[in-house]
Amino acid sequence: MAKKSDASPQSPANEILREAAEVRYADQLEALKQNDTEEPPTNWHLSPRSVLAYVTGGKTLKAKIGGKAVEVPITRKFFGDDGIVERAIVTLASERALLLVGEPGTGKSWLSEHLAAAVSGNSTLTIQGTAGTTEEHIKYSWNIARVIAEGPRPDNLIPSPTMVAMRKGGLLRFEELTRCVPDVQDALVSVLSDKAIAVPELPDNNMVWARPGFNVIATANTRDQGVNELSAALKRRFNYVYIPIVGDQKTEVKIVQQRSAELLERYNLPAKLSPPVIELLATVFREIRAGKTADGVSLKKPTTTLSTAEAIGVALDAALHARFFGDGEVGPADIARNMVGVVVKEDQEDKDSLKEYAALVAKKRGVKEKAWKDFHDALVEQL
Ligand SMILES: Nc1ncnc2c1ncn2[C@@H]1O[C@H](COP(=O)(O)OP(=O)(O)O)[C@@H](O)[C@H]1O
Ligand SMILES: [Mg+2]
């Protein structure tokens, strides 16, 4: 017989692996709301200035939460140019929808989730675009069994996230919009221009109108297989905000540090990732990605993107590795061991990029610095 489980709602076994942003950061959102001095646009939870403060962080606010007076630090969610975030917020308050475009792993989905959480208090009204997305996913569908029994009635209609967002005056997130085929994308044109969905099957009262506050945040990768270009009609209805790969090493180190700490906490794993190790990881990523080292050595670029998201992944894997099979302290060798699978995916030739990096860069630095020697030795062992 199976062991009696201790699955009380509070036990770690019953916690959920990933909470929505508005749940995870509920205290920060509440503190910003209590301190909001400006009037939010209709149906927005926060004023544009407070939405910006939520995304870019840096303040500590006094608030009353659960009847207690507390100080709540607002953490930075999205690292990068604050001007990008400002433009995104302005677009959301405008007639036009927002499209975040950029390479994979640059934080587009992450930014979209936090914007939706701060603006509408709900980031879960989401459509994931795939080649199999249909017009029903975007508009509505029917409970077929009940339609056969009773005919099409409003309560037999299954609303899409779009419809729910329209009725509430909230934000709809549309992930990977360009993966949908053009016909399906076009279903969004009427939603965005008429701000309504017609339900011709219903005899009367067959329009669903959007309330103020309704808008769409879509994301699209520029480097992807099988992407469909947006039609001209849809392009015109979106404001494009380009999300670049993080520009400077200092920022990338900060992102990797903060996000991997948050993720380790979620995995309940106390592992130590020291700043010099994260710096080494960021240096390696940056140099291989650019095909050039800080000291001017040219390298063969791999075909993979090596985004910040992947650097976070390597940091987390290295921490798990150190925790399970080492003493918990993450060293440069743990980084090397967990890097290969990220750089070398389909194309085995990408191995050459790493080999070259080991031979031309890491080895040389290893003569002077032990960290680089450890990194080099572990990397060569994997290749
Ligand atoms: N500029 C950034 N600021 C904060 N986090 C970032 C940034 N870039 C990447 N990340 C992190 O990378 C991870 C993946 O990002 P994601 O939003 O899924 O990428 P995308 O949607 O652009 O492919 C997230 O955990 C996010 O925290
Ligand atoms: Mg994404």
Q: Which of 110, 113, 255 to mutate to test the pocket of ligand 1 (most atoms within 8 A of CB)?
A: 110
235 and 255 assigned to the same domain: no
Domain boundary among 182, 213, 242: 242
Is residue 322 situated within a structural domain?
A: yes
The pLDDT of residue 266 is above 90: no
Is the Cβ–Cβ distance between 64 and 34 less than 8 Å? yes
Domain boundary among 242, 273, 296: 242
Is the Cβ–Cβ distance between 60 and 79 less than 8 Å? no
Is residue 58 situated within a structural domain?
A: no
Average the pLDDT over 34-42 and give the result: 96
Is residue 31 situated within a structural domain?
A: no
175 and 311 assigned to the same domain: no
Spatial separation of the C-alpha atoms in residues 164 and 116, rounded to whole Å: 14
Ligand 1 neighbours by CB, cut-off 6 Å: 78-80, 104-110, 219, 246, 255, 259, 308-309, 312
pLDDT value of position 272: 80
The pLDDT of residue 8 is above 70: no
Return the closest-CA partner of residue 106 out of 306, 313, 347, 314: 306
Spatial separation of the C-alpha atoms in residues 165 and 188, rounded to whole Å: 13
Report the number of distinct structural domains present in the chain: 2
Residues forming a β-bridge with 201: none
Report the chain's mean pLDDT, rounded to a whole number.
Answer: 91
Return the closest-CA partner of residue 332 out of 365, 292, 290, 377: 377
Return the closest-CA partner of residue 224 out of 272, 177, 267: 177
Is residue 73 situated within a structural domain?
A: no
229 and 284 assigned to the same domain: no
User: Could you list the residue range(s) of the whole structural domain that residue 257 is in?
Assistant: 249-382
The pLDDT of residue 304 is above 90: no
Residue keyed to tokens 């080292």? 293
263 — pLDDT class (breaks 50, 70, 90): confident
355 and 306 assigned to the same domain: yes
Q: What is the pLDDT of residues 135-173, one digit of tens each?
A: 999 999 999 999 999 999 999 999 999 999 999 999 999
Q: Which of 77, 177, 308 to mutate to test the pocket of ligand 1 (most atoms within 8 A of CB)?
A: 308
227 and 312 assigned to the same domain: no
Is residue 51 situated within a structural domain?
A: no
271 and 296 assigned to the same domain: yes
Domain boundary among 189, 215, 242: 242
157 and 290 assigned to the same domain: no
| Domain CATH code at residue 174 | 3.40.50.300
